[in-house]
């Protein structure tokens, strides 16, 4: 027997069948009995409310739901509509499954409900019906993909807007209506329709009436409004209806009421709406008129220290930055104030007719040169991180002895063989040794070298004697003012100069000089610049010694950026607190004829006597490699700095190098470089500028170190026009940092990266020449060509003398069989890290190290250590004096406009024509947006021999990876892009078929892999990279090399979790980075135990900034 419950259930199911069948007959009857229909629909509602199985049966039966929908469509009675909609609502008690089932059975149900809501809106005082219809549409509409189209075509948007207007204080009805509008306010057409229907007016009225109550309603209104104002017309409409003032009043009200920060999401919605409103010009204007700067600034200042309000402060600072009034850079002309006229009048040369007699810009001319060469990107990062070419994943094979493809094809030689021979035969003097007697050649070359040295000394002496009567401005020869007066400068002259700057005497005996100071003075005086220099910087005189401990990457703090932006906003809110005193102006110095040094020194002494608070800092950049155009003191301890663009351009503001004096110890000075152009920088990811204290150099032997805190890089409010190379970037960027000087009245220097000047290179080449001579190394330094300004571009040749006695040594390569390695650096002047790598390489290959000896026995090196001396000397970042990026001129360089590129390419072409094609070409560069050191190369030439060529191509980067702890093979790229076709790497690969044609990029910042992960790069690491590049060449030659322990200056104060790095692989030796670094020992082939080098790849995870980037070359 059935239980009583089962009997009741069965009876209910039978009843629902009967009720629906009867209802269907009544609807079909032309003479509908309204009372009977009301009764039937009520009974259906009651049955569904109490019986779950009845609800399930109704959902499962395909013929029953249409009966309810037809009733809803055809019976215009409020009670019937209530009963039917309540019944449908009961069917949805099961949640998402019930909704999905109902939509699957009846796809038109949402349209029926929309039509019912349209009809119900015409009834008066039927809130209950409207609420239930809107609720049903919210539930079903969330699963209906076509709900937005249905609502728009049915006129529902207008109905909802009217319902809002009619129920601005009826919160019981408002909440479901707002929920439905929020569901529909996602498509652009719906946003427009809601705006036109008057939704915004109703929302603002509701928001004003909510106050600090009705939180759910207020939050829904703000969410909808923030979506609506994403449409420009809606935003303008909201602004015109006093929407900005409403939002600011609401923000202030909730800031005071929400003491415990429980309504952060609501407050965030207010700011998000305000942010969207300020996208329009009228919105920005109304924001300023409504005292928006003060309001939002104060709210952000009050919330800045609370982590829970981070998102709120972030949006607030974005609003302030967007609304900041556009202000032009505080300079009269975007061009570099120093312009150079090369005297060439061809299509590749720009000549500025507005220069005065000295060749400098006339600042009365307000016209900007709109004919800038914009062929290259302004920021100079030209290699993409995510290349679409050949995969750069490591290969297990290292077959590097295959034939080069150049033996199978005809290179493209653009000059005649006779021209090449006449121009460059003298640059391969080592070929004379091939068939000659070793001893006779050795003596003959020594005599030639001595004769050249004597001639150089005579020429130098002549230049010194003639410089007494030479007009330094007419010749544009650099040197200090003291040197111009005395003619023969000594170290004592510069000590006097330093005493004048500091205001007290320095004992010359306390100088700690790193090298021959007399030589650096002499070389500096013979260096030719466009602008006369006023001094030789102290780092040149007292040298540099890398710190013993590696310096960690600076931790990034988001609160720093917000505070700096808020400080910028104070300039609008409290203009009376801004000083705006120009303390350094290169433009003014140029117009005054460079004779202001003595007057400046007197002003310094006077300022010390008159200022009772913090004295004004004094700046200078009129020295070799210096770059600083203007300094404005905006607060007692804060200065805005502007950099020079490259000469003959309006772009490339990145490299800086300047002197600071008259400081006080313990004061936190803030420097803001306000005309940077890259849209991101490693300064946001742990990099610090470099700092040099003359006092510490003299007394402690400390050279350049990383310094600065509170560093951030962000978009500022100075617009960058198309004439300044703005392109898609519409604003300049600010690089801001705080510096605390260690001593009073010191002479300090700050730079983007460790400077390496042309004069320093000349002294270094002289030193290694002496070392090479003492080690009986074949070392020749020749003048490849002169630059536009008349400086010398040096070509070095390094190898070992031939030795008949060693021909039986299996490791010795006869000179006639030695392949050539061609290397170059510093084609981009601001990439000083490439010069430090080159310095380390030169020091190594001219040393008596066993590896270096083997290297010279194996190869002949042709090296151009500085391809762009003029740019280096004059503080440029990327271009030469012609205003061209020399690494984009390799296809057809001009002999007069691009002499160094023209002659280097010609030399390599000559080597190819005589069968001495380089085995390896590598151009050393610096990369401003990536960490580690890595290479860019091209891809194999042919498909038929692709595997062998690919292995040869990858051999050198893989070999360097094995011997260098800061090299990242994962970051290497082997692809050729069309935009790189005019670079050295691609042109030599494409035209001369040099397969192993590389660009090696060194970071400005630091490392994110291996034992040095988390540390900034320094000069020791860069010099070691040059040495390890050489060891990679040996490894590529398949000579066994192994890792050993050795003390090194680049030791690390590692955290406890990084004190020891070991691997399970038996081929890798355990390394403790605290007291040792990786060095290498020559391996004797006859040893019984051979240790191969393991690859210490380290952590290959990319840094968080890598998605922004990246191109450098």
pLDDT tens-digit readout, 280-289: 889 999 999 9
Nearest alpha carbon to residue 1017 among 753, 727, 778: 753
Burial 144-170 (b: 16+ CB within 10 A, else e): beebbebbbebebbbbbbebbeebbee
Closest CA to 883 of 891, 533, 894: 894
972, 934 Cβ separation under 8 angstroms = yes
SS3 46: helix
Task: Supply the mean pLDDT for the chain.
Answer: 77
Q: Give the residue, 242 or 341, on which the prediction is more confident.
A: 242
Strands 1041-1046 vs 1077-1082: parallel, antiparallel or unpaired: antiparallel
For 880-915, write each residue's pLDDT tens digit: 999 999 999 999 999 999 999 999 999 999 999 999
Does the CA dihedral 41-43-48-49 come out positive or negative? positive
Buried b (16+ CB within 10 A) or exposed e, 190-202: bbbbbbebebbbb
> Comparing C-alpha atoms, which of 235, 170, 179, 177 is closest to residue 209?
170
The dihedrals phi and psi of 355, each to the nearest 5 degrees, come to -85, 150
**702-728 confidence digits (pLDDT tens):** 999 999 999 999 998 888 876 666 555
Cβ atoms within 10 Å, residue 563: 19
The confidence score (pLDDT) of residue 69 equals: 82
For residue 744, what pLDDT is reported?
94
How large is the average pLDDT for residues 521-529? 88
| Distances, alpha carbon 354 to alpha carbons 363, 594, 740, 1064, in Å | 9, 20, 42, 69
Q: Which of 396-410, 436-450, 800-814, 977-991 has the highest mean pLDDT?
A: 977-991
State pTM to two decimals.
Answer: 0.77
Lowest mean pLDDT segment, chosen from 273-277, 302-306, 703-707, 871-875: 302-306
Query: Which is higher by pLDDT, 746 or 437?
Result: 746
| Residue 785, C-beta contacts closer than 8 angstroms, at least 6 positions apart | 793, 899, 900, 902, 903
Across 960-973, average pLDDT:
94
Q: Which residue has the tokens 């430090």?
A: 836
Q: What is the pLDDT of residues 854-873, one digit of tens each?
A: 999 999 999 999 999 999 99
Determine the Cα–Cα distance for residues 138 and 152; give it in Å rounded to an integer. Answer: 15
Residues 430, 432, 433: CA angle, nearest 5 degrees: 75
Give the angle subtended at the CA of 88 by the CAs of 86 and 90, to the nearest 5°. Answer: 70
> What share of the chain has pLDDT > 90, as a percent?
40
Q: How confident is the model at residue 508 (pLDDT cuts 50, 70, 90)?
A: very low
Mean pLDDT of 177-196: 90
**Which pLDDT value is given to residue 918?**
95
Alpha-helical (H) ranges within 775-914 are: 832-845, 850-858, 869-873, 899-913
DSSP string, 110-157: HHHHHHHHHHHTTSSS-HHHHHHHHHHHHHHHTT-TTHHHHHHHTTHH
**Around 153, how many Cα atoms within 13 Å sit in the side-chain half-sphere?**
7
pLDDT value of position 595 = 53
Contacts of 1027 (CB under 8 A, 6+ apart): 840, 841, 843, 844
pLDDT per residue over 617-631, tens digit each? 999 999 999 999 999
For the segment 463-474, the average pLDDT, to the nearest whole number, is 35
Pairing of strands 638-642, 668-676: parallel
Band of pLDDT at residue 86, cut at 50, 70 and 90 = confident
Q: What is the 3-state secondary structure (H, E, C) of 559-570?
A: HHHHHHHHHHHH
In 468-516, alpha helices (H): 472-475, 481-486, 491-502
Active site residues: 1001
* pLDDT reported for residue 347: 38
* Rounded average pLDDT over 322-332: 86
Of residues 989 and 50, more confidently modeled: 989
Cis status, amide bond into 592, omega within 30 of 0: no
Q: What are phi and psi of 743, to 5 degrees?
A: -140, 150
The string of pLDDT tens digits covering residues 656-697 is 999 999 999 999 999 999 999 988 999 999 999 999 999 999
Q: Encode pLDDT of 1072-1084 as tens digits.
A: 322 323 332 322 2
Q: 1086 pLDDT band (50/70/90 cuts)?
A: very low
Q: Which range has highest mean pLDDT (63-77, 91-105, 123-137, 769-783)? A: 769-783
- Strand positions, DSSP E, 322-381: none
Instruction: Please report which confidence band the pLDDT of residue 559 belongs to, taking 50, 70 and 90 as the band edges.
Output: confident
Number of helices (H) and strands (E), helices first, in the chain? 39, 21
Look at residue 969 in the predicted model and tell me its pLDDT.
95
Q: How confident is the model at residue 796 (pLDDT cuts 50, 70, 90)?
A: very high
With H, G, I as helix, E, B as strand and everything else as coil, classify residue 617: coil
From CA 891, how far away is CA 983, in angstroms rounded?
8
Residue 611: its pLDDT value, please?
A: 54
Q: Which residues contact 881 (CB under 8 A, 6 or more apart)?
A: 340, 342, 530, 647, 648, 787, 788, 789, 870, 871, 874
Tokens of 298: 């104060």
Q: Which residues of 266-292 are buried (b: 16+ CB within 10 A; e: fewer)?
A: bbbbbbbbbbbbbebeebbebbbebeb
Residue 40's pLDDT band, with cuts at 50, 70 and 90, is confident
Tell me the pLDDT band of 342, cut-offs 50, 70 and 90.
confident
Between the ranges 18-27, 786-795, 1080-1089, where is the mean pLDDT highest?
786-795
The mean per-residue pLDDT over the stretch 637-651 comes to 93
728-750 average pLDDT score: 91
709-719, strands of its sheet edge to edge: 581-585, 630-635, 638-642, 668-676, 731-740, 709-719
Q: Which token pair is 254?
A: 């909730």
List C-alpha distances in Å: 565 to 30, 353, 430, 570, 848.
75, 40, 61, 9, 55
CA distance 934 to 924: 10
Alpha-carbon distance 706 to 689, whole Å? 6
Predicted confidence band of residue 606 (pLDDT cuts 50, 70, 90): low
Is the pLDDT confidence value at 1058 over 50? no
309 pLDDT exceeds 70? yes
């Amino acid at each position: 027997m059935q239980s009583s419950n089962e009997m009741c259930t069965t009876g209910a199911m039978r009843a629902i069948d009967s009720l629906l069948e009867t209802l269907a007959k009544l609807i079909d009857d032309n003479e509908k009995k309204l009372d009977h229909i009301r009764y039937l629909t009520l009974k259906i509602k009651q049955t569904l409310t109490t019986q779950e199985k009845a609800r399930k049966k109704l959902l499962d039966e395909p013929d029953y739901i249409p009966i309810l929908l037809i009733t809803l469509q055809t019976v215009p009675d409020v009670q019937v509509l209530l009963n039917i909609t309540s019944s449908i609502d009961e069917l949805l008690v099961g949640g998402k499954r019930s909704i999905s089932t109902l939509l699957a059975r009846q796809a038109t149900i949402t349209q029926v409900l929309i039509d019912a809501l349209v009809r119900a809106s015409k009834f008066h005082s039927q809130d209950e019906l409207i609420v239930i219809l809107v609720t049903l549409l919210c539930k079903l509409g969330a699963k209906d993909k076509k709900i937005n189209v249905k609502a728009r075509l049915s006129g529902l948007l207008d109905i909802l807007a009217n319902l809002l207007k009619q129920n601005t204080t009826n919160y019981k009805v408002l909440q479901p209506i707002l929920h439905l509008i929020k569901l529909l306010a996602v498509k652009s057409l719906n946003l427009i329709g809601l705006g036109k229907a008057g939704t915004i007016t109703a929302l603002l009225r509701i928001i004003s009436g909510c106050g600090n109550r009705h939180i759910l309603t207020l939050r829904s209104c703000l969410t909808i409004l923030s979506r609506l104002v994403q449409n420009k017309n809606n935003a303008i409409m909201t602004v015109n209806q006093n929407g900005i003032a409403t939002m600011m009043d609401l923000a202030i009200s909730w800031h005071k009421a929400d003491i415990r920060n429980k309504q952060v999401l609501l407050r965030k919605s207010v700011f998000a709406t305000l942010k969207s409103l300020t996208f329009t010009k009228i919105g920005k204007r109304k924001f300023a008129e409504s005292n928006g700067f003060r309001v939002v600034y104060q709210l952000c200042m009050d919330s800045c220290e609370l982590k829970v309000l981070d998102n709120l402060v972030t949006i607030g600072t974005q609003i302030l930055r967007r609304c900041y009034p556009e202000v032009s850079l505080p300079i009269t002309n975007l061009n570099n104030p120093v312009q150079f006229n090369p005297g060439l009048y061809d299509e590749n040369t720009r000549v500025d007719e507005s220069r005065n007699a000295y060749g400098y810009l006339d600042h009365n001319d307000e016209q900007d040169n709109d004919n800038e060469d914009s062929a290259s990107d302004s920021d100079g990062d030209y290699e993409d991180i995510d290349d679409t070419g050949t995969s750069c994943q490591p290969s297990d094979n290292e077959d590097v002895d295959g034939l080069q493809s150049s033996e199978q094809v005809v290179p493209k030689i653009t000059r005649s063989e006779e021209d090449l021979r006449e121009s460059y035969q003298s640059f391969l003097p080592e070929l004379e040794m091939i068939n000659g007697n070793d001893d006779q050649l050795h003596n003959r070359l020594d005599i030639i070298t001595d004769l050249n040295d004597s001639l150089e000394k005579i020429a130098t002496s002549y230049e010194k004697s003639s410089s007494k009567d030479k007009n330094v401005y007419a010749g544009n020869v650099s040197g200090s003012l003291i040197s111009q007066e005395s003619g023969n400068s000594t170290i004592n002259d510069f000590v006097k100069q330093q005493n004048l700057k500091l205001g007290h005497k320095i004992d010359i005996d306390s100088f700690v000089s790193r090298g021959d100071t007399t030589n650096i003075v002499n070389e500096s005086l013979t260096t030719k610049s466009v602008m006369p220099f006023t001094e030789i910087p102290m780092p040149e005189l007292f040298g540099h010694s890398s710190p013993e401990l590696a310096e960690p990457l600076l931790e990034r703090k988001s609160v720093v950026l917000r505070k700096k932006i808020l400080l910028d906003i104070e300039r609008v809110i409290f203009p009376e607190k801004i000083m705006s005193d120009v303390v350094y102006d290169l433009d003014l110095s140029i117009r005054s004829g460079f004779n202001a040094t003595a007057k400046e020194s007197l002003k310094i002494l006077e300022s010390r006597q008159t200022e009772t608070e913090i004295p004004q800092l004094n700046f200078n950049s009129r020295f070799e490699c210096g770059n600083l155009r203007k300094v404005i003191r905006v607060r007692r301890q804060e200065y805005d700095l502007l950099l020079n663009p490259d000469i003959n351009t309006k772009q490339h503001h990145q490299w800086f190098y300047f002197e600071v004096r008259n400081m006080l110890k313990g004061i936190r000075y803030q420097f803001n470089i306000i005309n940077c152009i890259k849209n991101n920088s490693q300064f946001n990811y742990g990099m610090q500028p470099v700092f040099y204290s003359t006092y510490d150099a003299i007394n402690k032997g400390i050279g350049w170190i990383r310094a600065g805190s509170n560093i951030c890089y962000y978009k500022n409010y100075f617009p960058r026009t198309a004439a300044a190379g703005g392109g898609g970037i519409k604003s300049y960027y600010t690089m801001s940092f705080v510096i605390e000087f260690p001593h009073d009245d010191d002479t300090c220097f700050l730079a983007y990266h460790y400077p390496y000047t042309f004069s320093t290179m000349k002294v270094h080449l002289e030193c290694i020449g002496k070392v090479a001579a003492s080690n009986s190394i074949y070392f020749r330094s020749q003048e490849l060509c002169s630059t536009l300004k008349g400086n010398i571009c040096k070509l070095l040749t390094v190898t070992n003398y031939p030795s008949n006695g060693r021909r039986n040594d299996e490791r010795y390569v006869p000179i006639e069989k030695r392949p050539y390695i061609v290397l170059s650096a510093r084609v981009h002047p601001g990439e000083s890290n490439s010069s430090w790598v080159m310095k380390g390489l030169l020091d190594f290959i001219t040393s008596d190290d066993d590896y270096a000896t083997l290297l010279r026995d194996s190869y002949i090196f042709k090296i151009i250590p500085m391809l762009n001396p003029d740019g280096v000397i004059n503080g440029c970042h990327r271009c030469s004096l012609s205003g061209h990026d020399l690494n984009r001129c390799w296809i057809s360089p001009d002999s007069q406009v691009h002499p160094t590129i023209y002659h280097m390419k010609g030399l390599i072409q000559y080597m190819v024509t005589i069968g001495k094609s380089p085995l390896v070409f590598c151009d050393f560069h610096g990369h401003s947006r990536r960490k580690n050191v890595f290479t860019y190369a091209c891809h194999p030439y042919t498909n038929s021999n692709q595997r062998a060529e690919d292995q040869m191509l990858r051999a050198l980067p893989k070999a360097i990876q094995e011997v260098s702890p800061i090299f990242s093979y994962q970051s290497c790229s082997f692809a050729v892009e069309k935009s790189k076709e005019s670079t050295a790497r691609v042109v030599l690969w494409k035209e001369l078929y040099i397969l192993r044609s590389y660009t090696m990029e060194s970071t400005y910042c630091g490392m994110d892999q291996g034992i040095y992960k988390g540390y900034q790069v320094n000069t020791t690491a860069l010099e070691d990279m040059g040495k390890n590049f050489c060891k990679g060449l040996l490894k590529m030659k398949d000579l066994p090399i192994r890792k050993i322990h050795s003390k090194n200056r680049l030791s690390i104060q590692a955290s406890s979790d990084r004190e020891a790095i070991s691997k399970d692989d038996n081929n890798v030796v355990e390394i403790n980075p605290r007291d040792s670094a990786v060095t290498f020992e020559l391996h004797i082939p006859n040893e019984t135990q051979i240790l191969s080098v393991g690859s210490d790849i380290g952590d290959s995870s990319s840094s968080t900034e890598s998605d922004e980037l990246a191109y450098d070359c």
